[in-house]
Structure 1
Amino acid sequence: MVQKSAQPSQKPAPNSTRRSERSRRAIYDAALALVSEVGYPKTTIEGIAARAGVGKQTIYRWWPSKADVLLEAFLDLSEQASELAAKEGQEPFEFPDTGDLAADLKFVLRATVDELLNPRFEAPSRALAAEGVVNEQLGAVFVSKLLEPSLQLYVQRLRSAQDQGAVRPEIDPRIALELFVSPLAQRWLQHTGPISYEYVDTLVDYALHGLTPR
Protein backbone atom coordinates (compact mmCIF):
# COMPACT_ATOMS: atom_id res chain seq x y z
CA MET A 1 0.00 0.00 0.00
CA VAL A 2 1.31 3.39 -0.92
CA GLN A 3 1.18 5.84 1.94
CA LYS A 4 -0.13 9.25 1.21
CA SER A 5 2.30 11.93 2.11
CA ALA A 6 1.18 14.06 5.04
CA GLN A 7 -0.10 17.44 4.07
CA PRO A 8 2.13 20.24 5.38
CA SER A 9 0.58 22.01 8.33
CA GLN A 10 -0.86 25.38 7.54
CA LYS A 11 1.08 28.13 9.31
CA PRO A 12 -0.95 31.08 10.47
CA ALA A 13 -0.58 34.10 8.27
CA PRO A 14 1.71 36.74 9.82
CA ASN A 15 -0.18 39.42 11.67
CA SER A 16 0.84 42.61 9.91
CA THR A 17 -0.81 44.76 12.56
CA ARG A 18 1.18 43.12 15.34
CA ARG A 19 4.37 43.34 13.31
CA SER A 20 3.79 47.03 12.61
CA GLU A 21 3.13 47.74 16.27
CA ARG A 22 6.30 45.90 17.27
CA SER A 23 8.31 47.92 14.75
CA ARG A 24 6.71 51.16 15.88
CA ARG A 25 7.52 50.38 19.51
CA ALA A 26 11.14 49.56 18.61
CA ILE A 27 11.42 52.88 16.75
CA TYR A 28 10.05 54.78 19.76
CA ASP A 29 12.57 53.11 22.06
CA ALA A 30 15.43 53.71 19.64
CA ALA A 31 14.63 57.40 19.20
CA LEU A 32 14.40 58.05 22.94
CA ALA A 33 17.57 56.08 23.66
CA LEU A 34 19.64 57.82 20.98
CA VAL A 35 18.58 61.31 22.02
CA SER A 36 19.64 60.50 25.58
CA GLU A 37 22.94 58.93 24.51
CA VAL A 38 24.22 61.16 21.71
CA GLY A 39 21.97 64.22 21.81
CA TYR A 40 19.38 65.48 19.36
CA PRO A 41 21.76 66.95 16.71
CA LYS A 42 23.55 63.59 16.30
CA THR A 43 20.38 61.55 16.26
CA THR A 44 19.46 60.59 12.68
CA ILE A 45 16.77 58.60 10.91
CA GLU A 46 19.48 56.17 9.84
CA GLY A 47 20.64 55.77 13.43
CA ILE A 48 17.11 55.23 14.69
CA ALA A 49 16.44 52.65 11.97
CA ALA A 50 19.64 50.74 12.73
CA ARG A 51 18.94 50.78 16.46
CA ALA A 52 15.35 49.61 15.93
CA GLY A 53 16.28 46.94 13.40
CA VAL A 54 14.09 48.36 10.63
CA GLY A 55 14.70 49.98 7.27
CA LYS A 56 14.71 53.75 7.16
CA GLN A 57 11.95 53.51 4.54
CA THR A 58 9.74 52.11 7.30
CA ILE A 59 10.33 55.23 9.37
CA TYR A 60 9.71 57.60 6.48
CA ARG A 61 6.48 55.76 5.74
CA TRP A 62 5.15 56.86 9.14
CA TRP A 63 7.01 60.08 9.94
CA PRO A 64 8.46 62.88 7.78
CA SER A 65 11.37 63.71 10.11
CA LYS A 66 13.26 62.67 13.22
CA ALA A 67 11.52 65.45 15.14
CA ASP A 68 8.15 63.87 14.41
CA VAL A 69 9.44 60.46 15.48
CA LEU A 70 10.70 61.89 18.74
CA LEU A 71 7.52 63.83 19.43
CA GLU A 72 5.33 60.76 18.98
CA ALA A 73 7.73 58.64 21.04
CA PHE A 74 7.65 61.19 23.85
CA LEU A 75 3.85 61.37 23.78
CA ASP A 76 3.78 57.58 24.00
CA LEU A 77 6.23 57.67 26.92
CA SER A 78 3.96 60.10 28.76
CA GLU A 79 0.94 57.88 28.11
CA GLN A 80 2.84 54.85 29.40
CA ALA A 81 3.69 56.71 32.60
CA SER A 82 0.01 57.59 33.10
CA GLU A 83 -1.09 53.99 32.46
CA LEU A 84 1.51 52.67 34.89
CA ALA A 85 0.33 55.07 37.57
CA ALA A 86 -3.26 53.94 36.99
CA LYS A 87 -2.27 50.27 37.33
CA GLU A 88 -0.58 51.09 40.62
CA GLY A 89 -3.81 52.62 41.86
CA GLN A 90 -2.70 56.22 41.59
CA GLU A 91 -5.25 58.81 40.62
CA PRO A 92 -4.74 60.77 37.38
CA PHE A 93 -2.81 63.92 38.10
CA GLU A 94 -4.91 66.81 39.28
CA PHE A 95 -3.84 70.14 40.64
CA PRO A 96 -4.46 70.02 44.41
CA ASP A 97 -6.90 72.50 45.89
CA THR A 98 -6.31 72.43 49.63
CA GLY A 99 -7.34 76.05 50.14
CA ASP A 100 -3.68 77.06 50.48
CA LEU A 101 -2.66 78.41 47.07
CA ALA A 102 1.03 78.78 47.89
CA ALA A 103 1.27 75.20 49.19
CA ASP A 104 -0.55 73.82 46.16
CA LEU A 105 1.67 75.70 43.70
CA LYS A 106 4.82 74.56 45.47
CA PHE A 107 3.63 70.95 45.45
CA VAL A 108 3.04 70.96 41.69
CA LEU A 109 6.22 72.86 40.83
CA ARG A 110 8.30 70.48 42.94
CA ALA A 111 6.78 67.58 40.99
CA THR A 112 7.71 69.44 37.80
CA VAL A 113 11.31 69.73 38.99
CA ASP A 114 11.38 65.96 39.56
CA GLU A 115 10.15 65.34 36.03
CA LEU A 116 12.53 67.81 34.41
CA LEU A 117 15.46 66.15 36.16
CA ASN A 118 14.31 62.60 35.33
CA PRO A 119 16.80 61.22 32.76
CA ARG A 120 14.03 59.41 30.86
CA PHE A 121 12.18 62.66 30.24
CA GLU A 122 14.87 65.32 30.29
CA ALA A 123 16.72 64.69 27.01
CA PRO A 124 13.67 64.21 24.75
CA SER A 125 11.66 67.02 26.32
CA ARG A 126 14.62 69.41 26.08
CA ALA A 127 15.18 68.44 22.44
CA LEU A 128 11.52 68.90 21.54
CA ALA A 129 11.30 72.24 23.31
CA ALA A 130 14.36 73.52 21.44
CA GLU A 131 13.26 72.11 18.07
CA GLY A 132 9.80 73.60 18.55
CA VAL A 133 11.32 77.09 18.50
CA VAL A 134 12.55 76.70 14.91
CA ASN A 135 9.96 74.17 13.68
CA GLU A 136 6.67 76.02 13.96
CA GLN A 137 4.44 73.07 13.14
CA LEU A 138 6.17 70.75 15.58
CA GLY A 139 6.15 73.49 18.22
CA ALA A 140 2.39 73.92 17.84
CA VAL A 141 1.79 70.20 18.38
CA PHE A 142 4.21 70.13 21.31
CA VAL A 143 2.38 72.99 22.98
CA SER A 144 -1.16 71.75 22.28
CA LYS A 145 -0.61 68.13 23.29
CA LEU A 146 1.96 68.42 26.07
CA LEU A 147 2.17 71.92 27.51
CA GLU A 148 -1.29 73.44 27.26
CA PRO A 149 -3.16 70.65 29.12
CA SER A 150 -0.80 71.16 32.08
CA LEU A 151 -1.06 74.94 31.92
CA GLN A 152 -4.84 74.73 32.01
CA LEU A 153 -4.57 73.02 35.39
CA TYR A 154 -2.83 76.15 36.68
CA VAL A 155 -5.58 78.28 35.17
CA GLN A 156 -8.28 76.27 36.92
CA ARG A 157 -6.49 76.44 40.28
CA LEU A 158 -5.96 80.18 40.02
CA ARG A 159 -9.60 80.72 39.12
CA SER A 160 -10.55 78.69 42.19
CA ALA A 161 -8.28 80.96 44.24
CA GLN A 162 -10.09 83.97 42.79
CA ASP A 163 -13.41 82.48 43.87
CA GLN A 164 -11.96 82.00 47.35
CA GLY A 165 -10.73 85.60 47.49
CA ALA A 166 -7.06 84.57 47.54
CA VAL A 167 -6.29 86.19 44.16
CA ARG A 168 -7.55 89.56 42.92
CA PRO A 169 -10.55 89.12 40.62
CA GLU A 170 -9.09 91.21 37.78
CA ILE A 171 -6.02 88.96 37.46
CA ASP A 172 -5.77 86.99 34.20
CA PRO A 173 -4.88 83.42 35.32
CA ARG A 174 -3.31 82.56 31.97
CA ILE A 175 -0.82 85.41 32.36
CA ALA A 176 -0.34 84.90 36.09
CA LEU A 177 0.74 81.26 35.72
CA GLU A 178 3.72 82.42 33.67
CA LEU A 179 5.16 83.99 36.83
CA PHE A 180 5.79 80.45 38.08
CA VAL A 181 6.24 78.37 34.95
CA SER A 182 8.27 80.59 32.62
CA PRO A 183 11.25 81.30 34.90
CA LEU A 184 11.57 77.59 35.68
CA ALA A 185 11.40 76.64 31.99
CA GLN A 186 13.95 79.30 31.01
CA ARG A 187 16.41 78.30 33.70
CA TRP A 188 16.06 74.62 32.77
CA LEU A 189 16.36 75.15 29.02
CA GLN A 190 19.21 77.66 29.07
CA HIS A 191 21.16 76.25 32.03
CA THR A 192 21.22 79.67 33.68
CA GLY A 193 21.14 78.12 37.13
CA PRO A 194 20.16 75.00 39.06
CA ILE A 195 16.53 74.05 39.46
CA SER A 196 15.46 72.76 42.84
CA TYR A 197 12.62 72.69 45.33
CA GLU A 198 14.06 75.78 47.01
CA TYR A 199 14.12 77.63 43.70
CA VAL A 200 10.47 76.97 42.80
CA ASP A 201 9.36 77.70 46.37
CA THR A 202 11.03 81.09 46.05
CA LEU A 203 9.30 81.72 42.71
CA VAL A 204 5.95 81.15 44.38
CA ASP A 205 6.76 83.40 47.31
CA TYR A 206 8.00 86.23 45.09
CA ALA A 207 5.06 85.97 42.69
CA LEU A 208 2.35 85.79 45.34
CA HIS A 209 3.74 88.41 47.69
CA GLY A 210 5.49 90.76 45.26
CA LEU A 211 8.84 92.47 45.62
CA THR A 212 7.89 95.75 47.22
CA PRO A 213 7.55 96.24 51.00
CA ARG A 214 4.11 95.54 52.39
Structure 2
Amino acid sequence: MSATKSQSAKKAAPDAARRSERSRRAIYDAALSLVGEIGYPRTTIEGIAARAGVGKQTIYRWWGSKAEVLMEAFIDLNERNTEVAAERHPGYPGDPAVLPDSGDIEADFKLLLHATVDVLKDPVFEAPARALAAEGLADRAFSEAFVARLLMPGLDLYADRLRAAQEAGQVRTEVDPTIARDLFSGPLAQRWLQNTGPLDHAYADTIVEYALYGIGARPPRS
Protein backbone atom coordinates (compact mmCIF):
# COMPACT_ATOMS: atom_id res chain seq x y z
CA MET A 1 0.00 0.00 0.00
CA SER A 2 1.34 3.42 -0.92
CA ALA A 3 1.88 6.10 1.68
CA THR A 4 -1.02 8.10 0.22
CA LYS A 5 -3.44 5.17 0.44
CA SER A 6 -2.23 4.35 3.95
CA GLN A 7 -2.87 7.90 5.10
CA SER A 8 -6.34 7.88 3.53
CA ALA A 9 -7.20 4.64 5.30
CA LYS A 10 -6.11 6.07 8.63
CA LYS A 11 -8.33 9.09 8.09
CA ALA A 12 -11.39 7.06 7.06
CA ALA A 13 -12.01 5.33 10.39
CA PRO A 14 -12.09 8.47 12.56
CA ASP A 15 -14.37 10.18 10.01
CA ALA A 16 -16.80 7.24 10.14
CA ALA A 17 -16.73 7.29 13.93
CA ARG A 18 -17.47 10.99 13.99
CA ARG A 19 -20.34 10.52 11.54
CA SER A 20 -21.80 7.78 13.74
CA GLU A 21 -21.53 9.95 16.84
CA ARG A 22 -23.14 12.89 15.04
CA SER A 23 -25.98 10.63 13.90
CA ARG A 24 -26.46 9.20 17.37
CA ARG A 25 -26.52 12.69 18.90
CA ALA A 26 -29.00 13.87 16.28
CA ILE A 27 -31.26 10.89 17.02
CA TYR A 28 -31.15 11.57 20.77
CA ASP A 29 -32.03 15.23 20.24
CA ALA A 30 -34.76 14.40 17.74
CA ALA A 31 -36.36 11.83 20.02
CA LEU A 32 -36.39 14.17 23.02
CA SER A 33 -37.74 17.13 21.07
CA LEU A 34 -40.47 15.11 19.37
CA VAL A 35 -41.77 13.46 22.52
CA GLY A 36 -41.90 16.89 24.14
CA GLU A 37 -43.77 18.40 21.20
CA ILE A 38 -46.29 15.68 20.29
CA GLY A 39 -46.14 13.17 23.16
CA TYR A 40 -44.82 9.65 23.40
CA PRO A 41 -47.70 7.79 21.65
CA ARG A 42 -47.43 9.91 18.49
CA THR A 43 -43.64 9.79 18.37
CA THR A 44 -42.45 7.18 15.86
CA ILE A 45 -39.17 5.77 14.63
CA GLU A 46 -39.95 7.28 11.23
CA GLY A 47 -40.54 10.68 12.79
CA ILE A 48 -37.33 10.51 14.79
CA ALA A 49 -35.38 9.49 11.69
CA ALA A 50 -36.84 12.34 9.65
CA ARG A 51 -36.13 14.92 12.38
CA ALA A 52 -32.58 13.60 12.83
CA GLY A 53 -31.89 13.45 9.11
CA VAL A 54 -31.04 9.75 9.08
CA GLY A 55 -32.62 6.63 7.62
CA LYS A 56 -34.85 4.60 9.91
CA GLN A 57 -32.57 1.62 9.20
CA THR A 58 -29.86 3.52 11.06
CA ILE A 59 -32.07 3.68 14.14
CA TYR A 60 -33.07 0.02 13.93
CA ARG A 61 -29.42 -0.93 13.63
CA TRP A 62 -28.80 0.52 17.11
CA TRP A 63 -32.16 0.16 18.87
CA GLY A 64 -35.13 -2.19 18.76
CA SER A 65 -37.90 0.31 19.57
CA LYS A 66 -38.66 3.95 20.19
CA ALA A 67 -38.77 3.19 23.93
CA GLU A 68 -35.13 2.07 23.80
CA VAL A 69 -34.21 5.24 21.89
CA LEU A 70 -35.91 7.43 24.51
CA MET A 71 -34.34 5.57 27.42
CA GLU A 72 -30.84 6.01 26.01
CA ALA A 73 -31.56 9.61 25.06
CA PHE A 74 -32.56 10.39 28.64
CA ILE A 75 -29.56 8.57 30.08
CA ASP A 76 -27.34 10.63 27.79
CA LEU A 77 -29.22 13.80 28.76
CA ASN A 78 -28.67 12.98 32.44
CA GLU A 79 -24.94 12.69 31.81
CA ARG A 80 -24.91 16.05 30.04
CA ASN A 81 -26.97 17.64 32.83
CA THR A 82 -24.44 16.37 35.36
CA GLU A 83 -21.62 18.03 33.44
CA VAL A 84 -23.57 21.30 33.33
CA ALA A 85 -24.34 21.06 37.06
CA ALA A 86 -20.65 20.63 37.79
CA GLU A 87 -19.90 23.79 35.82
CA ARG A 88 -22.65 25.84 37.50
CA HIS A 89 -22.29 24.57 41.05
CA PRO A 90 -18.78 24.44 42.53
CA GLY A 91 -18.26 21.21 44.41
CA TYR A 92 -20.80 19.24 42.40
CA PRO A 93 -19.28 16.02 40.97
CA GLY A 94 -19.17 15.71 37.20
CA ASP A 95 -20.02 12.01 37.41
CA PRO A 96 -23.74 10.98 37.33
CA ALA A 97 -22.88 7.98 39.54
CA VAL A 98 -21.53 10.19 42.35
CA LEU A 99 -23.29 12.62 44.69
CA PRO A 100 -21.68 15.47 46.63
CA ASP A 101 -19.96 14.14 49.75
CA SER A 102 -18.03 16.84 51.58
CA GLY A 103 -18.87 15.34 54.94
CA ASP A 104 -21.55 18.01 55.55
CA ILE A 105 -24.90 16.34 54.86
CA GLU A 106 -26.89 19.59 54.88
CA ALA A 107 -24.56 21.39 52.47
CA ASP A 108 -24.35 18.35 50.20
CA PHE A 109 -28.10 17.87 49.89
CA LYS A 110 -28.67 21.58 49.33
CA LEU A 111 -26.11 21.47 46.52
CA LEU A 112 -27.75 18.37 45.10
CA LEU A 113 -31.26 19.83 45.20
CA HIS A 114 -30.12 23.14 43.71
CA ALA A 115 -28.75 21.23 40.72
CA THR A 116 -31.92 19.15 40.52
CA VAL A 117 -34.14 22.23 40.50
CA ASP A 118 -32.11 23.68 37.64
CA VAL A 119 -32.52 20.48 35.62
CA LEU A 120 -36.27 20.24 36.28
CA LYS A 121 -36.75 23.81 35.05
CA ASP A 122 -34.60 23.38 31.93
CA PRO A 123 -36.92 23.30 28.87
CA VAL A 124 -34.68 20.74 27.17
CA PHE A 125 -35.44 18.32 30.01
CA GLU A 126 -38.86 19.47 31.15
CA ALA A 127 -40.96 19.03 28.01
CA PRO A 128 -39.98 15.43 27.20
CA ALA A 129 -39.90 14.47 30.90
CA ARG A 130 -43.49 15.66 31.38
CA ALA A 131 -44.60 13.76 28.28
CA LEU A 132 -42.97 10.57 29.52
CA ALA A 133 -44.39 11.03 33.01
CA ALA A 134 -47.86 11.23 31.47
CA GLU A 135 -47.18 8.10 29.42
CA GLY A 136 -46.12 6.30 32.58
CA LEU A 137 -49.60 6.86 34.02
CA ALA A 138 -51.17 5.18 30.98
CA ASP A 139 -48.66 2.39 30.38
CA ARG A 140 -47.58 0.49 33.49
CA ALA A 141 -44.90 -1.54 31.70
CA PHE A 142 -43.34 1.61 30.28
CA SER A 143 -43.49 3.25 33.70
CA GLU A 144 -41.74 0.33 35.37
CA ALA A 145 -38.94 0.36 32.80
CA PHE A 146 -38.58 4.14 33.04
CA VAL A 147 -38.42 4.05 36.84
CA ALA A 148 -35.98 1.12 36.91
CA ARG A 149 -33.52 2.54 34.37
CA LEU A 150 -33.76 6.28 34.98
CA LEU A 151 -35.14 7.08 38.43
CA MET A 152 -34.01 4.31 40.75
CA PRO A 153 -30.26 4.69 40.11
CA GLY A 154 -30.46 8.28 41.30
CA LEU A 155 -32.66 7.45 44.28
CA ASP A 156 -30.26 4.68 45.26
CA LEU A 157 -27.49 7.27 45.33
CA TYR A 158 -29.59 9.38 47.71
CA ALA A 159 -29.93 6.38 50.01
CA ASP A 160 -26.18 5.65 49.80
CA ARG A 161 -25.38 9.25 50.75
CA LEU A 162 -27.70 8.98 53.75
CA ARG A 163 -26.02 5.73 54.83
CA ALA A 164 -22.68 7.52 54.74
CA ALA A 165 -24.18 10.23 56.93
CA GLN A 166 -25.39 7.55 59.36
CA GLU A 167 -21.88 6.15 59.61
CA ALA A 168 -20.63 9.67 60.34
CA GLY A 169 -23.21 10.14 63.10
CA GLN A 170 -25.16 12.80 61.20
CA VAL A 171 -28.34 10.71 60.78
CA ARG A 172 -29.99 8.55 63.43
CA THR A 173 -29.06 4.89 63.14
CA GLU A 174 -32.68 3.67 63.12
CA VAL A 175 -33.57 5.77 60.06
CA ASP A 176 -34.27 3.74 56.89
CA PRO A 177 -32.35 5.49 54.07
CA THR A 178 -34.70 4.09 51.42
CA ILE A 179 -37.58 5.93 53.09
CA ALA A 180 -35.66 9.05 54.13
CA ARG A 181 -34.48 9.66 50.56
CA ASP A 182 -38.09 10.41 49.56
CA LEU A 183 -38.15 13.32 52.01
CA PHE A 184 -35.69 15.07 49.69
CA SER A 185 -36.79 13.91 46.24
CA GLY A 186 -40.55 13.62 46.75
CA PRO A 187 -41.39 17.28 47.42
CA LEU A 188 -39.42 18.45 44.39
CA ALA A 189 -41.15 15.90 42.15
CA GLN A 190 -44.61 16.85 43.41
CA ARG A 191 -44.07 20.58 42.99
CA TRP A 192 -42.63 20.01 39.52
CA LEU A 193 -45.44 17.70 38.40
CA GLN A 194 -48.36 19.60 39.91
CA ASN A 195 -47.11 23.21 39.93
CA THR A 196 -48.22 23.65 43.55
CA GLY A 197 -45.76 26.48 44.20
CA PRO A 198 -42.44 28.03 43.20
CA LEU A 199 -39.68 25.57 42.41
CA ASP A 200 -36.45 27.32 43.28
CA HIS A 201 -33.29 27.07 45.38
CA ALA A 202 -34.96 28.62 48.43
CA TYR A 203 -37.62 25.89 48.38
CA ALA A 204 -34.91 23.26 47.98
CA ASP A 205 -33.02 24.61 50.99
CA THR A 206 -36.16 24.53 53.11
CA ILE A 207 -36.90 20.95 52.11
CA VAL A 208 -33.40 19.89 53.19
CA GLU A 209 -33.74 21.65 56.54
CA TYR A 210 -37.19 20.18 57.21
CA ALA A 211 -36.01 16.69 56.21
CA LEU A 212 -32.89 16.79 58.37
CA TYR A 213 -34.22 18.60 61.43
CA GLY A 214 -37.96 17.92 61.38
CA ILE A 215 -40.89 20.26 61.98
CA GLY A 216 -42.30 18.87 65.24
CA ALA A 217 -42.15 20.87 68.46
CA ARG A 218 -41.30 17.67 70.32
CA PRO A 219 -38.88 14.84 69.53
CA PRO A 220 -40.47 11.82 67.79
CA ARG A 221 -41.93 9.05 69.94
CA SER A 222 -39.62 6.07 70.28
Q: TM-score range by the shorter chain?
A: 0.7 to 0.9
Q: Is residue 32–residue 70 contact of structure 1 (8 Å, CA) maintained in 2?
A: yes
List per-residue Cα deviations over 1:115-147 (Å, max 9, x = no partner): 111222222233333333443443333333322
**Is 1:187 aligned with 2:191?**
yes
**Is 1:164 aligned with 2:180?**
no
Residue 155 of structure 1 is matched in structure 2 by: 159
Match of 2:94 among 68, 89, 92: 92
* Percent identical: 62
Matches within 5 A, 1:201-212: 201-212=205-216
Q: 1:209 to 1:79 in 2, by over 3 A?
A: closer
**Is 1:68 aligned with 2:68?**
yes
Q: Is residue 39–residue 123 contact of structure 1 (8 Å, CA) maintained in 2?
A: no
Q: 1:96 to 1:57 in 2, by over 3 A?
A: closer
Larger radius of gyration: 1
What SS does the corresponding residue of 1:96 show, helix, strand or coil?
A: coil
Q: Distance in 2 between matches of 1:128 and 1:29?
A: 15
Q: 1:27 to 1:181 in 2, by over 3 A?
A: same
Residue 3 of structure 1 is matched in structure 2 by: none
Residue 162 of structure 1 deviates from its aligned partner by 1.6
Residue 4 of structure 1 is matched in structure 2 by: none
Residue 104 of structure 1 deviates from its aligned partner by 1.8
Residue 169 of structure 1 deviates from its aligned partner by 0.8
Q: 1:193 to 1:68 in 2, by over 3 A?
A: farther
Residue 47 of structure 1 is matched in structure 2 by: 47
Residue 195 of structure 1 deviates from its aligned partner by 1.0
Q: Is residue 109–residue 200 contact of structure 1 (8 Å, CA) maintained in 2?
A: yes
Matches within 5 A, 1:1-214: 22-40=22-40, 42-56=42-56, 58-59=58-59, 62-80=62-80, 91-93=93-95, 94-214=98-218
Residue 4 of structure 2 is matched in structure 1 by: none
Structure 2 residue ranges without an equivalent (≥5): 1-7, 87-91
Structure 1 residue ranges without an equivalent (≥5): 1-10
**Root-mean-square deviation (CA), in Å?**
3.4
Q: Distance in 2 between matches of 1:97 and 1:24?
A: 33
One-letter identity of the residue aligned with 2:136 = G
Residue 179 of structure 1 deviates from its aligned partner by 1.0
Residue 5 of structure 2 is matched in structure 1 by: none
Q: Distance in 1 between matches of 2:213 and 2:53?
A: 55
Residue 61 of structure 1 deviates from its aligned partner by 5.7
Q: 1:190 to 1:85 in 2, by over 3 A?
A: closer
Q: Distance in 1 between matches of 2:211 and 2:155?
A: 17
List per-residue Cα deviations over 1:100-121 (Å, max 9, x = no partner): 3222211111110011112222
Q: Is residue 67–residue 128 contact of structure 1 (8 Å, CA) maintained in 2?
A: no
Q: 1:144 to 1:195 in 2, by over 3 A?
A: same
What SS does the corresponding residue of 1:177 show, helix, strand or coil?
A: helix
